[in-house]
Amino acid sequence: MNKRVTVFFATGNIGKVEEAERIFKEENIPLLHLPMKLLEIQSDDLEEIAVFSAQKAWEDQEKPLFVEDAGLFIKELKGFPGPYSSYVSKTVSNEGILKLMSQIEDRSAYFKAVIAFCNGKNTLTFKGEVKGEISREIRGTHGFGFDPIFIPEEGDGRTFGEMDISEKTAISHRTRALRKFAEWVKSTDSSKFI
């Protein structure tokens, strides 16, 4: 059991940190935010992007840290924006996605999150997904990014943007990846961890 080792979350996205803090508190693992701009390679594969970012962040900080790369994959758009979610969110944003989807009936989509943990020796990954669909309009003011246009399958028809943080984190892609990571942290001897 390895509950006292502090884990560092390297990210520039405060919305991700708020969600991770809730999960790690429940799991009783100390978490510290390392605010930083991550280096990201261009790739179609979230795992490849996360592993690269984690290794670069470790070279910079030399602390046992993780990064988390996430994306929204829309079926009828062949997975777009996927690994380009951050850029799309900052540029055309939710309005742009809804415009692209205006003639599309099948609105299936999913969020995927990949955590990459790096301790300078090894890099491990943990994944989570949540299925759902793209709404017809922007709804709700909670969360960040695509939350106001994503309706999770396991919910009651509201978007993530209409849910408070505890409702979202009960079912989110990020939570699923974080829980797997937390299990590993708790079951790993601290000598292997650092």
Relative to beta strand 123-134, strand 150-152 is: antiparallel
By the rule CB under 6 A, 11 interacts with ligand ITT: yes
Under 8 Å between Cβ of 119 and 66: no
Nearer to ligand ITT among residue 29 and residue 70 (C-beta)? 70
Under 8 Å between Cβ of 132 and 148: no
Q: Tokens in use for 164?
A: 């408070």
Under 8 Å between Cβ of 143 and 70: no
Please pick, from the candidates 2, 61, 86, 119, the single residue that binds ligand ITT as defined by CB under 6 A.
86
Catalytic residue from among 44, 45, 60, 69:
69
DSSP state of 81: B
Nearer to ligand ITT among residue 138 and residue 188 (C-beta)? 138
- Closest approach of Cβ 183 to ligand ITT, in Å? 20
- Closest approach of Cβ 83 to ligand ITT, in Å? 8
Name the closest residue to ligand ITT (Cβ).
145
> What strand order describes the sheet that includes 108-118?
31-35, 7-11, 65-74, 108-118, 123-134, 150-152
Q: Is 69 a catalytic residue?
A: yes
Q: Which residues bind ligand ITT (CB under 6 A)?
A: 11-13, 16, 38, 69-72, 85-86, 89, 111, 143-147, 160, 172, 174
| Catalytic machinery residues | 69
